[in-house]
């Protein structure tokens, strides 16, 4: 797998030198739109930063050393546990969190954040690596958004026993680690071992205080403890360009901050294309895997940008029977439980061209026959219109097999 430095070079990253914190949001947005990574430093810090790494499909393919989407999907969903190769911990120790660049992206953000922070923790024989945004409180403390998943569970177990949960926070990890950490794996399957499976192997080093495994080629490692203390975290702009609400979240007490000057720290624009690809692309893989089990041919799966690459999907298939599109819709919802609206189209409609998708709905869809509505299903916490439960809508915009000629697209 390519290192972040080699990936940046291959993708034609542009180094713009030092910028003010207030310029970071528009800088990242500019380079995401251009489809190129950008390298910079934020005034007041010597740490090199990279953004817009995974803002295109081409970049994701290169990061996963894949030729196309199917190749990349298979690497993510079929990855087995690989070998973790232990090496020495060779990082420079920094004074505290003030030595790192922190950014307040939007006016109403609750504070300055790190957005590509991967939390690694092991407790009672279970290890986990997952993304959690980190809001700086002061030079030694942060608030951490813990979505009720695996790290949340480990933290809860530790607190119930009167303990704090040791964590290593990695910012600027190898590509295979970032994508593995974005997967939804069974509890107890360690994402670093899956990353090693994706890449063939992974070099890790044990942190000095808590002995937690972290990728050797990381930019920044923070050792600390998730405590029982809770503070307000947020607001924060999430995938759908809306402010996530303020919550009481655990405090990270920082014991040490380490830096590897050879690697770039990673900073993600909240709600930007890179944010969408890192979260959404593994879910595309899950949908593709689920749908291919119920229909003969799946050509493309696209979580669309208007839905934050999270809530809306378009799937193109070749049907063997007229019930295949309905089965594909149900499989898509099973493959990505946060999915809200899904559209299935024929192989002659390109899901990347939303005008073609709209044309398919206009000419091949009748609501009385082709609409699926599932009420009171669990929805995404990112959807501001949902109160936890949502209505899921599936649209079958495919042509009947026996009347295919009637629906031929001329141009």
Comparing CA positions, the residue from 119, 145, 121 lying closest to residue 133 is 145
Identify the pLDDT of residue 283.
97
Per the document, the length of the chain is 411
Identify the pLDDT of residue 137.
99
Fold of 79-268: Pnp Oxidase; Chain A (2.30.110)
Fold of 274-407: UbiD C-terminal domain-like (3.40.1670)
Sequence-ordered list of residues with C-beta below 8 angstroms from that of 229, at least 6 positions apart, any chain:
250, 251
Catalytic residue numbers? Answer: 238
What is the b/e burial string over 201-224, where b = at least 16 CB atoms within 10 angstroms of the residue's CB?
Answer: ebebbebeebebbbbbbbbbbbbb
Identify the pLDDT of residue 3.
78
Q: How far apart are CA 134 and CA 410, in angstroms?
A: 52
Q: How far apart are CA 193 and CA 84, in angstroms?
A: 7
Chunked into runs of 10 residues, the chain (411 residues) has average pLDDT values of 86 97 98 97 97 97 96 94 96 98 97 98 97 98 96 98 99 96 94 96 97 97 99 96 95 99 97 97 97 97 97 98 97 97 98 98 97 95 89 98 80 74
Within 10 A of 129 (CB to CB), how many other CB atoms are there? 31
Positive or negative, the Cα torsion across 184, 185, 191, 196? negative
| Domain boundaries, given as residue ranges, for the chain | 79-268, 274-407
pTM beyond 0.75: the answer is yes
């Amino acid at each position: 797998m390519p290192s972040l430095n080699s990936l940046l070079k291959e993708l034609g990253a542009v180094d713009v030198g030092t910028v003010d914190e207030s310029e970071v949001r528009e800088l990242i947005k500019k380079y995401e739109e251009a489809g190129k990574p950008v390298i910079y430093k934020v005034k007041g810090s010597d740490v090199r930063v990279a953004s817009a790494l995974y803002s295109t499909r081409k970049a994701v393919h290169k990061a996963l050393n894949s030729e196309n989407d199917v190749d990349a999907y298979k690497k993510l969903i079929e990855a087995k546990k690989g070998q973790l190769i232990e090496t020495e911990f060779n990082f420079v120790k920094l004074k505290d969190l003030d030595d790192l660049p922190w950014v307040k992206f939007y006016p109403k953000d609750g504070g300055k954040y790190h957005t590509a922070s991967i939390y690694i923790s092991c407790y009672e024989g279970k290890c986990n690596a997952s993304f959690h945004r980190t809001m700086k409180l002061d030079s030694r403390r942060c608030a951490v958004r813990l979505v009720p998943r695996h790290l949340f569970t480990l933290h809860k177990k530790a607190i119930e026993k009167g303990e704090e949960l040791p964590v290593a926070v990695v910012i600027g990890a190898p590509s295979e680690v970032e994508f593995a950490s974005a997967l939804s794996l069974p509890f107890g399957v360690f994402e670093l071992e899956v990353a090693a499976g994706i890449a063939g192997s992974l070099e890790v080093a044990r942190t000095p205080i808590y002995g937690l495994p972290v990728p050797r080629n990381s930019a920044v490692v923070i050792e600390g403890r998730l405590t029982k203390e809770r503070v307000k975290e947020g607001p924060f702009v999430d995938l759908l360009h809306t402010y996530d609400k303020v919550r009481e979240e655990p405090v990270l007490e920082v014991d040490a901050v380490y830096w590897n000057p050879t690697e770039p720290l990673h900073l993600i624009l909240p709600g930007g294309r890179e944010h969408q690809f890192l979260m959404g692309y593994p879910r595309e893989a899950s949908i593709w895997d689920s749908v291919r089990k119920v229909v003969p041919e799946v050509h493309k799966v696209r979580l669309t940008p208007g839905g934050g690459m999270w809530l809306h999907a378009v799937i193109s298939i070749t049907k063997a029977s007229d019930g295949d599109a309905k089965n594909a819709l149900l499989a898509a919802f099973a493959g990505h439980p946060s999915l809200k609206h899904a559209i299935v189209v024929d192989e002659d409609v390109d899901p990347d061209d939303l005008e073609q998708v709209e044309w398919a709905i206009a000419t091949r869809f009748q609501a009385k026959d082709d609409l699926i509505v599932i009420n009171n299903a669990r929805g995404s916490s990112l959807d501001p219109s949902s109160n936890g439960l949502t209505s899921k809508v599936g649209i079958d915009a495919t042509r009947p097999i026996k009347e295919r000629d009637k629906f031929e697209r001329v141009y």
